[in-house]
Amino acid sequence: MNKKLSKDGRVYWIENPNGPTLGLAEGSGVGVLEQDGLFFKDLAKTGTLLPYEDWRLPAEERAKDLAARLTVEEIAGLMLYSPHQMVPAVPFGPFPGTYGDGKTLEESGEQPWALTDQQKKLLENDNIRHILATRMENAQVAARWNNELQAKAESLSLGVPVNTSSDPRHGASASGAEYKMGAGSDVSKWPEGMGMSATFSPELCRQFAEIASKEYRALGIATALSPQIDLATEPRWMRWADTFGENTRLAADMARAYCDGMQTTVGKEDGWGKDSVNAMAKHWPGGGACEGGRDAHYAWGKYAVYPGNNFAEHQKPFLEGAFKLDGPTRTAAAVMPYYSVSWGQDPVHGENVGNSYSKYMIHDLLREKYGYDGVVCTDWGITGDHGEGVEGFNSRCWGVEDMTEAERHLRIIMNGVDQFGGNADAAPVLEAYRLGCEQYGEETMRKRFEESAVRLLKNSFRCGLFENPYLDPEESARVVGNEAYCRAGYEAQLRSVVLVKNKDSLLPLDRPGIKVYVPMRHMDAKPAFFRTPEPARDYEAVPRNLLEKYFTVVDTPEEADVGLVFIDSPVTNPYSPQDREAGGNGYLPVSLQYRPYTAVHAREHSIAGGDPYEDFTDRGYRGKTVKAANESDLEAILDTKARMGDRPVVVLAQLSNPVVPAEFEAAADGILVHFGVQAQALLDLITGKAEPSGLLPCQLPRDMDTVEAQFEDVAFDMIPYTDACGNTYDFGFGLNWSGVIRDERNAKYTK
């Protein structure tokens, strides 16, 4: 038996002569069984090879054997998902962690990869085996923490390993201004969602997913809470930029490429193995048709509406993409329904409830009509009591507020959902089991729990976690953020930027000695994602030391040859407590323009309404005015142009949503739009070190009237803006140095 010990002596690996390498933790109590000249882990500690321990058997057979051995309490633990975990943890914030009787990491003297008090409880008391990881200090710390986590899990009960997951962590927009390579410190940085779609290249998306899966596995991550494949037919939605856009065919092709790349281990007949990461496609049946652009994380945004009768179209990225893979894994391993109430779309039961609570959306459509048999996991935090009012960031139990927490769990389980995102307390799941036994009988409930257990366990068996969940920290550091991966991500960033205006062939700015002026940026106080106010502040658009690598930087427009203005799309707040206090309904328009916007031409009355937290049903906002928190971005463009005179101004716009270009296009000689890249990529493009090749994955609207007139569920129903050069900012439009791009991409993907 060939045994290799880790440098710290905590983990050892055994090579099979014709099979998977086994990884074990010293002191976990798990030994090795030998049969037919092969080695197996004795996870149950029985001294006898059980079917679930036999890696020669299919994952389905192993999962069924293990599910039958688990107690109800252990299955309830599988159905839970931990709160967000930071490595190392901090003792404050929304997801705190302490070490050894409530101490900070420093007070405890522990290493940064030590398990927190909370993490030990999750594993030991609540039987949780699905952990959501957020910030990780670096690859070596992540690998060591993974080994500690897996060793603890291996020592408990039947040795079920932890399946760690992550939200998307490869996005370039939050990764700093400059492209860097630092293996082991952070993952490679890529365009996400709308930026990937701007390349119009599913092949590039697959390359990203293949690289991301290797980095994920080197961090101990075996499930990706992605891709987000909602059709982005509502341009005001705050999650618009995370999607693959509103073109159904492009979104489906991107979804398929992403899931294939994430899940496929090359050389394995069924595609599953040590390099595989389970893809959790979201959000079924599509969350992009939110009324007025308001998001369903909040009670004021709970409704998805379908004035264009286009509900079926929103399911196609799943049915034709994530559920119909080219590779051998065949379908996305998991699906997450969205928070929203798909208003008026249940013809069988006539219910308007959150999608996970809807028997029609989950049981009738997803499970029965479309035959999906992977894991279904709720979005985070939907089973608790909501609390008071529509504004707070509370539980999202839309339509079932009058149920108890246990009754909500039971309803979700009987719909065919397997797992509860963000729920770390087993008590309501166990109470749901008891209630189910009273209503349906114990045999039915045990069978239903085992059904979910099989689906959940299968995803861990297929990724090889039962054989070897352990990592070599040094190898992880070599894989994560290595030069080749970072270079590939950076080149993808370059391909995702779209040049929409280049008056008189101003760009590229490739002559030496160009003097540029870049105005400071200002952001008024605005609500963040979790509704925590961000203070007003002034800040550099791009670090000066980076700009000086490309240009001579001057302090005033009067000294400059060119002005460079960096902006974001407008940021507005769709709900106002002050409006409600003044006698209104609280609802405001979501604006895509910088100047104050009055919704003169909005629909008179909302489509959806009625809420236990409100004493009215109409959520309309016609005639109301809203102001963008970053109106100063527009002021910066206009002021720079006024002071530059005849000298050119280049606008570099990051789009979290489409923008109305009419407010600034005339003042800009060059305009580049992007969806989240490092500043260096923009500077490389405008100086000619690379040529722009991206295409608009969306329409940029003529004005807010066309935004109000469009239907939330229908693609490409706005009038796009036409600029002074005669170019229309429509889906598929983009420029390179030679002019308008016309190639196989915008010929293949048409409106």
Kindly state the helix (H) or strand (E) to which residue 422 belongs, with its residue range.
Answer: none
Residue 3 pairs in a beta bridge with 14
Q: Are 296 and 339 in contact (CB under 8 A)?
A: yes
Task: For residue 662, give both structure tokens.
Answer: 């009419």
| C-alpha to C-alpha distance for 351 and 360, rounded to whole angstroms | 9
Q: Are 310 and 257 in contact (CB under 8 A)?
A: no
| C-alpha to C-alpha distance for 82 and 115, rounded to whole angstroms | 14
| C-alpha to C-alpha distance for 615 and 598, rounded to whole angstroms | 25
Identify the three-state secondary structure at position 134: strand
Which residue has tokens 């630092």?
182
| C-alpha to C-alpha distance for 229 and 313, rounded to whole angstroms | 12
Quote the pLDDT of residue 182: 46
Exposure string of 474-491, with b = 16+ CB inside 10 Å and e = fewer, is: eebbebbbbeebbebbbe
C-alpha distances in Å from residue 2, one per residue of 5, 9, 13, 14, 92: 10, 16, 8, 6, 45
Q: Are 112 and 473 in contact (CB under 8 A)?
A: no
Quote the pLDDT of residue 510: 96
Task: For residue 420, give both structure tokens.
Answer: 């509860």
Q: Are 199 and 662 in contact (CB under 8 A)?
A: no
Kindly state the helix (H) or strand (E) to which residue 132 belongs, with its residue range.
Answer: strand 130-136
Quote the pLDDT of residue 627: 95
Write the Ramachandran bin of 598: left for phi over 0, alpha for psi from -120 to 50, otherwise beta.
Answer: beta
Q: Which of 343, 375, 373, 377 is nearest to 360 (CA)?
A: 343
DSSP state string for 334-378 = EEEE-SSEETT--TTT----BGGG-HIIIIIIIIIIS---SEEBP
Which residue has tokens 């290493």?
111
| Mean pLDDT, contiguous 10-residue spans, the chain (751 residues) | 85 93 96 95 98 98 98 98 93 89 93 96 96 95 97 97 96 65 72 97 98 98 98 97 98 98 96 97 98 95 97 98 98 98 97 98 98 97 88 88 97 98 95 98 98 98 98 96 97 98 98 96 67 73 94 97 97 93 96 98 96 90 96 97 97 98 98 97 98 98 98 98 98 98 96 93
Task: For residue 350, give both structure tokens.
Answer: 């006539």
Domain 198-462 has CATH 3.90.1150.10: no
Residue 164 pairs in a beta bridge with 131, 221
Identify the three-state secondary structure at position 198: helix
Quote the pLDDT of residue 747: 93
Cis peptide before 285 (omega within 30 of 0): yes
Kindly state the helix (H) or strand (E) to which residue 241 belongs, with its residue range.
Answer: none
Residue 103 pairs in a beta bridge with 99
Q: Are 668 and 708 in contact (CB under 8 A)?
A: no
pTM tops 0.75: yes
Quote the pLDDT of residue 643: 97
| C-alpha to C-alpha distance for 673 and 660, rounded to whole angstroms | 12
DSSP E strands in 576-637: the ranges are 597-598, 625-626
Quote the pLDDT of residue 374: 98
Q: Are 114 and 88 in contact (CB under 8 A)?
A: yes
| Triad 229, 75, 393: Cα angle to 5° | 50
Q: Are 633 and 572 in contact (CB under 8 A)?
A: no
| C-alpha to C-alpha distance for 650 and 173, rounded to whole angstroms | 20
Q: Which of 598, 461, 569 is nearest to 158 (CA)?
A: 461
Task: For residue 386, give both structure tokens.
Answer: 């909501």
Identify the three-state secondary structure at position 745: helix
DSSP 3-state percent helix, strand, coil across the chain (nearest 5): 30, 15, 50
Task: Report which residue type is found at 695.
Answer: L
Query: Residues of CATH 3.20.20.300 domain(s) within the chain?
Result: 198-462
Cis peptide before 283 (omega within 30 of 0): yes
Q: Are 672 and 653 in contact (CB under 8 A)?
A: yes
Identify the three-state secondary structure at position 25: strand
Task: For residue 238, give both structure tokens.
Answer: 């705050």
Q: Are 40 and 54 in contact (CB under 8 A)?
A: yes
| Triad 344, 348, 351: Cα angle to 5° | 45
Task: For residue 37, give both structure tokens.
Answer: 């000249």
| C-alpha to C-alpha distance for 680 and 398, rounded to whole angstroms | 44
Quote the pLDDT of residue 45: 97
- Per DSSP bridges, beta strands 163-166 and 278-284 are unpaired
Q: Are 692 and 672 in contact (CB under 8 A)?
A: yes
End-to-end Cα separation, the chain, in angstroms: 61
Identify the three-state secondary structure at position 136: strand
Instruction: Please count the residues of the chain.
Output: 751
Q: Which residues contact 60 (CB under 8 A, 6 or more apart)?
A: 454, 458
Which parts of 645-703 fold into alpha helices (H)?
679-686
Phi, psi (degrees; rounded to nearest 5) at 620: -65, 155
| Triad 670, 171, 330: Cα angle to 5° | 120
DSSP E strands in 6-82: the ranges are 11-14, 22-25, 31-35, 38-42
- Per DSSP bridges, beta strands 597-598 and 625-626 are antiparallel
